[in-house]
Amino acid sequence: MRLNRLNAMEQYILQNGTASLEDLSTRFNISTNTVRRDLAELLARGQIKKVYGGVSASAAQVPLPMSVRAERAREEKREIGRLAAELVNDHTTVFLDSGSTTVCILPHLAAKSDITVITHSLGALYEASKYPELRVIGLGGLYSASTSSYVGVSTLEMLSRMSIDMIFIAATGVSLDRGLTNTTYFEAEIKHSVVEHNKQIILMADHSKFDHTALFTFCEFKDLSAVVTDKRPAKPYMESIEHYGIRLLCAQDRG
């Protein structure tokens, strides 16, 4: 299936940084002309760019390694995780995406009863393994080192068959006009799919994510059920939160 090949080819380029036409032809067992046609479509996605003799990952779209993101605003993320857990009742199924903030909810979920965690994030799977009280479902797929998660068609297919009570997502950027955005095509596809098929969407994001945008939009701001953050957002966000009936949990308001 061509879509599968395109996705696999893009992931290969992003993981390796660069790739020549000959390399792609050999790896995917296709002619050089077919490689050129595939690359023309991948270039339009914006994740890769042309270089002499082949293509490379677009520097502006290469996400920071998960280890780096996890260290940013560590205390703020821990508090966001604690607050987000307040939204979860016993006997609930939750989805955690691969953001560095969402994993911070897990220690607090472990204190509840009959919680099922669904995730494609390797970091979340590792953290959840520390708590035998949690029921954990891992989504397989193609491993993406840049996001430390499993992505691809098989991951999307599994998600499309699941009915999940609450979706906890992170974002590279949050704005009122672009909504929730992400730098990585595959990750944005998973976020969009899980948002599209479920209703309770909770954003976990520290204040630095607001008024920033990335390439791919995966959720409109108005479609959120709740926002969990460390500092109260600016007035336009507060007005939208009130207008659309979005619940706000803010560490700043808790003193």
Structure tokens at 255: 């003193």
More confident residue, 46 or 245: 245
Beta carbons within 8 Å of 239's beta carbon, 6+ residues apart: none
Backbone angles phi, psi at 38, to 5 degrees: -65, -45
Structure tokens at 203: 């954003």
Percent of the chain with pLDDT over 70: 93
Structure tokens at 74: 């560590």
Please determine, for residue 248, whether its predicted confidence score (pLDDT) is greater than 90.
Answer: yes
Q: Are 187 and 179 in contact (CB under 8 A)?
A: no
At 147 the pLDDT is 82
At 72 the pLDDT is 54
Structure tokens at 103: 């994993």
Average pLDDT, the chain: 88
Q: Torsion over CA of 61, 240, 163 and 185, rounded to 10 degrees?
A: -10
Model confidence at 11, pLDDT cuts 50, 70, 90, reads confident
Percent of the chain with pLDDT over 90: 55
Please determine, for residue 67, whether its predicted confidence score (pLDDT) is greater than 50.
Answer: no
Q: Which domains does the chain have, with CATH numbers?
A: 2-60 (1.10.10.10), 66-254 (3.40.50.1360)
More confident residue, 84 or 254: 84
Please determine, for residue 87, whether its predicted confidence score (pLDDT) is greater than 60.
Answer: yes
d(CA 134, CA 61) in angstroms, rounded, equals 35
- pLDDT (tens digit, 9 = 90+) per residue, 105-121? 999 999 999 999 999 99
Model confidence at 255, pLDDT cuts 50, 70, 90, reads low
Type of residue found at 189: E
- pLDDT (tens digit, 9 = 90+) per residue, 190-227? 999 999 999 899 999 998 899 888 888 999 999 999 99
- pLDDT (tens digit, 9 = 90+) per residue, 141-167? 888 887 889 988 889 999 989 999 999
d(CA 63, CA 42) in angstroms, rounded, equals 18
Please determine, for residue 43, whether its predicted confidence score (pLDDT) is greater than 50.
Answer: yes
Please report the DSSP string for 114-143 in residue order. Answer: SEEEEE-BHHHHHHHTT-TTSEEEE--SEE
Structure tokens at 122: 């390797």
Model confidence at 24, pLDDT cuts 50, 70, 90, reads very high
At 68 the pLDDT is 47
Give the chain's radius of gyration (CA, Å).
19
